[in-house]
Amino acid sequence: MFIQGSTTKMTKKLFKKLAFVVGIAGITTLISVPVLAKFYPPYALFQPSAYRSYPYRNSEKNIADTLADNSKYSNLVYELKQAGLLDTLKQGQFTIFAPTDNAFKALPKQTYQRYSQKENRLKVLKYHVVPRIITDKNLNGTAIRTLEGNAINVTLDKNDKVKLNNAIGKPPSIQAKNGVIIEINQVLVPPGF
Please report the pLDDT score of residue 22 as a whole number: 75
DSSP 56: G
State which amino acid sits at residue 176: A
Please report the pLDDT score of residue 28 as a whole number: 67
Cα Rg, the chain, nearest whole Å: 24
Low-confidence ranges of the chain (pLDDT < 70): 1-8, 10, 28-59, 136-140
What percent of the chain has a predicted confidence (pLDDT) above 90? 53
The pTM of the full predicted model, rounded to 2 decimals, is: 0.72
Using CA atoms, how far apart are residues 148 and 182, in angstroms rounded to an integer? Answer: 17
What percent of the chain has a predicted confidence (pLDDT) above 70? 75
Please report the pLDDT score of residue 55 as a whole number: 46
